[in-house]
Amino acid sequence: MKDINSISEKGFTILIIDDSPTLRGEVIGILKSTRLFSEFLEAENPTAGLKHLVNNKIDIVLCDLVMPGMDGFKFLAMKLSSPEFTEIPVIMLTSKGELRDKIKGLEDGASDYLTKPFNPGELIARVKAHLRIKVLQDALKKTNEKLIQLSITDVLTGLFNRRHFMELLDKEFERVQRYGAKLSFLMIDVDLFKRINDTYGHLAGDSVLKEIGGLLSLGLRKHIDVLGRYGGEEFAMLLPETNMDGAKTLAERYRIMVEKASFRIPGGTTKMTISIGCSSAPDPSIQTVEQFIQFADEALYRAKKSGRNKAEAMMPTQPPPEKKLPRGLKK
């Protein structure tokens, strides 16, 4: 995070928009003395200024109010139309002393204003004040983003936690019901995982789960497929726009990948396997998210019962028992 009280070679970037090269040079000369800025960008009109906003990471803008062709109010309107620029402070420079112009500028999104000719000390003070606010806003934004990430992440594996995974599942299943979109679901269980914890301890078990989670992350379509830790030694995967054939192919690929891998344990390595249950929608037998999960759960049960290290698909010809719920679901 940038700190305006500790000057470094990498400082802030300021954009100065004014049709007068003389005034731009004057502003740059004044602000160079502060040693706050590593880059000074200039634009002679709002259109050129907006291009700088698009192409550069700008911390603060000084913009003249009255310019030929397009005034400062137009610049504020263009800036506010792009959400990524809304938090960049803008100080308006104007030779007009009319109160209505100042009020309009502030209402249109300006952070502050200076009336020309301005006092150098006042210019520096106002720029510093708005940089301080921006530094605090940027820090708060990063903290909030981190808190959001922590709230949706499984601490051990770094994958989505169950709560967030279920939220995404609800949204994707709604697409199935509304638009008939294809969706497949994989329920993945680590075979005989308890023996790792019992033999080598829970730290070794945690290490194995992290490694398996990493393997399952390989090959996922970015921003499309969803992988989460379902609970304990179970993982779950959402595959949008994927039918049952595609789901079975991917499940078998992951099964083989885990089977061939070696996992670190105290004193060496060990082999592990996974069992996978697959379900796909839309399907006449699937009307709810609970049924969608249950079909995958039933398929996983068959994979376990038939010897483990297998991938099984749902059998929608036989509806799942009405009273039985998948492991972990509550009525």
CA dist 100 → 118, 273, 282 (Å): 19, 73, 60
Q: Which residue has the tokens 């109160």?
A: 99
The pair phi, psi for residue 113, each rounded to 5°, is -150, 155
Name residue 35's amino acid. R
**Beta carbons within 8 Å of 228's beta carbon, 6+ residues apart:** 154, 159, 160, 161, 162, 164, 165, 168, 235, 236, 237
Q: Are 185 and 299 in contact (CB under 8 A)?
A: no
Task: Verify whether residue 233 is a known catalytic residue.
Answer: yes
Q: Which among 26, 233, 234, 298 is annotated as catalytic?
A: 233
Tokens of 249: 């192919």
Q: Which residue has the tokens 């885990």?
A: 258
Euclidean distance between CA atoms 216 and 225, whole angstroms: 11
Alpha-carbon Rg for the chain in angstroms: 29
Q: Which long-range contacts (CB under 8 A, 24 or more apart) does 165-174 make?
A: 165/226, 165/228, 165/229, 165/230, 165/236, 165/238, 168/226, 168/228, 168/238, 169/226, 169/236, 169/238, 169/289, 169/292, 169/293, 170/289, 172/226, 172/238, 172/240, 173/281, 173/289, 173/292
| Number of residues written out for the chain | 331
**Catalytic sites, residue numbers:** 233
